[in-house]
Chains A and B, each alone.
Chain A
Amino acid sequence: MTAAFRPHAGLDVERVRRDFPILRRSMRGRPLVYLDSAASAQKPSAVIEAIRSFYETSYANIHRGVYELSERATLLHDEARVKVQHLLGAADAREIVFVRNATEAINLVAWSWGRARLRAGDEILISGLEHHSNIVPWQLLCEEKGAKLRVAPVDERGELLEDAFRALLSERTRLVALAHVSNALGTVLPVARLAALAHDAGSLVLVDGAQAVPRMPVDVRALGCDFYAFSGHKLYGPTGIGCLYGRRELLEAMPPWQGGGDMIAEVRFEKTLFADPPQRFEAGTPDIAGAVGLGAAIDYVTDLGLARIAEHERELLAYGTELLAEIPELRIVGTAREKTGVLSFVLGDIHPHDVGTILDQEGIAIRAGHHCAQPLMERLGLPATARASLGVYNTREDLERLAAGIRKVLQVFA
């Protein structure tokens, strides 16, 4: 039987690679090894073409256009929302708000829900491995409201200390905001379990899914979260578009966070009536082409199968971990039992930026730095790490090139 007829066959990575035009270019005279998908993923032709074709054949502003092009653009925009709904397992497309990225989704909740609901003395609980995008909006909010930001600590492996998390939950906790997957270490948090604990304490739960959505099936109802945020660009879609999922009754009770066109039902100088969600939170002309591109990206990963993508990354992560463990000077940072997609490491006393520059000379793109998670780096006692992160197009050869590149770094600094 050929692979095409085997529903449980693994990912055909060679075929996937042909879908990504950028992988045809060389980098510093060598085939590009792209190991920075946790920062942003490359784009398949299906996404690039969907955006191009939209602009060439179907573009106009959406809503209220009485002509065919506008109707068509509105339809495509609405369809993209339904695709996101299905991707996340949401009950209703009206629970999906289009924003610029996961950061904006979190800020939306902080500004709208937070400013309306948070009181002095209330608490927001986050984890010690959050990206700055899931720290700073809450700091700003807490400062304004006289509320308190609590942080559940992580251990040396990069796992959340669940007892400490539980101990920090109280009747004062109004919101628990957690990463689904750590961008810096790849730790997968047991979100469903933590959400249940939070709900028992009477708190709402927001999940930053920026790193999870591209690499595993996500079901917001199974997770039991109230809000879920992600970015399109990490899901092989365009930059400039992201989504907030919010449970319908929560969104309905939330005030607008930006005013303008498209978010109103009726405007008088005396008083304005606001539109229902999601439009209430989408003031102004949105990134229409971005939504269309995101829809195409969702089709792309859905066709490949997110479970299959997860399995592919799991195998690669195991292989990469094995290869890097053979280098005595190298220490992998982040060894959670449940992890995905990310190989963070330090190499003797060689600074990660020097590692990154030398790997770049070998045509290998990785990231070096604090990965927008400075409190986590401080907890681990490191100013920075080098981070190789995986995507659907990565191969075992990519990881072999990485290991060879790291040996070259060691030679230069010998």
Chain B
Amino acid sequence: MDVRELYQSTILDHNKRPRNFRVPEAANREARGSNPLCGDQLTVYLRLENGVVEDVGFQGTGCAISKASASLMTEAVKGRRLEELEQLFERFHALLTSDAMRPADTEGLGKLAVFSGVREYPVRVKCATLAWHTVRAAARGDAATVKTE
């Protein structure tokens, strides 16, 4: 596989210019996530109102995959209801942990489909899922730091 299939232009773009890389005003939920293996660390902030993600942002450091994934995650969950966020988490997680030899099921994932190439790099799957584990913890109000290792 060519390395460009992993580092697609969307991923490189979101790595370079991460969206919602900020602490949203009046954020009322947050969670920290870390991937001790790589040293990726991020905090995801949410402003939840009536079960809807009104605003979302993140801060932290990490590799291109984890940073781009966090950036794309914020775009994907903004304006969604909590149930939709959970569903997206499940779909994204299922995509990344699916068999790399089979065609990727990217239904309903939109831009997030660019991460299907990560399936071929098992050690990097955790980089891509970190932001999702963390946003889910923030949404659920879990206090402990999320670790993907």
Contact = CB atoms under 8 A, between A and B. Distances in A.
Interface of A: 350-354, 357-358, 361, 368-370, 377, 383-384, 408, 412-413
B144 interface: no
A383 B7 contact: no
Interface of B: 1-4, 6-7, 12, 37-39, 41, 61-65, 67, 121, 124, 127
A384 B64 contact: no
Listed from nearest, the 10 A-B pairs whose CB atoms lie closest are A351-B63, A353-B63, A383-B39, A361-B3, A384-B39, A354-B64, A353-B38, A354-B63, A358-B3, A412-B7
Pick from B4, B12, B39, B61 the residue with the most CB of A within 10 Å: B39
A353 B127 contact: yes
A369 B38 contact: yes
A247 B121 CA distance: 47
B40 to A, nearest CB: 8
29 contacts: A350-B64, A351-B38, A351-B62, A351-B63, A351-B64, A351-B67, A352-B63, A353-B63, A353-B65, A353-B127, A354-B7, A354-B63, A354-B64, A354-B65, A357-B6, A357-B124, A358-B7, A361-B3, A368-B38, A369-B39, A377-B39, A383-B39, A383-B41, A383-B61, A384-B38, A408-B3, A413-B7, A413-B12, A413-B64
A357 B1 CA distance: 12
Given A377-B39, A413-B64, 19 more contacts: A350-B64, A351-B62, A351-B67, A352-B63, A353-B38, A353-B65, A353-B127, A354-B63, A357-B121, A361-B1, A361-B2, A369-B37, A383-B41, A383-B61, A384-B38, A384-B39, A408-B3, A412-B3, A412-B7
Nearest to B37: A369
Contacts of A368: 38
Contacts of B37: 369
B37 to A, nearest CB: 7
A358 to B, nearest CB: 5
B139 to A, nearest CB: 26
Contacts of A370: 39
A353 B12 contact: no
Contacts of B41: 383
A384 B124 CA distance: 16
Contacts of B3: 357-358, 361, 408, 412
A354 B41 CA distance: 15
Contacts of B63: 351-354
A377 B4 CA distance: 30
Nearest to B64: A354
Contacts of A352: 63
A14 B12 CA distance: 40
B17 to A, nearest CB: 12
B86 to A, nearest CB: 28
A412 B1 CA distance: 14
Nearest to B38: A353
Pick from B7, B63, B65 the residue with the most CB of A within 10 Å: B63
Contacts of A377: 39
Nearest to B124: A357
Contacts of B61: 383
A385 to B, nearest CB: 10
A384 B67 CA distance: 15
A358 B12 CA distance: 13
Pick from A354, A377, A384, A408 the residue with the most CB of B within 10 Å: A354
Contacts of A384: 38-39
B4 to A, nearest CB: 7
A361 B7 CA distance: 12
Pick from A350, A357, A369 the residue with the most CB of B within 10 Å: A357
Contacts of B12: 412-413
Contacts of B4: 412
A413 B3 CA distance: 11
Nearest to A384: B39
B7 A353 contact: no
Contacts of B121: 357
Contacts of A351: 38, 62-64, 67
Pick from B41, B62, B64 the residue with the most CB of A within 10 Å: B64
B142 to A, nearest CB: 24
A351 B65 CA distance: 10
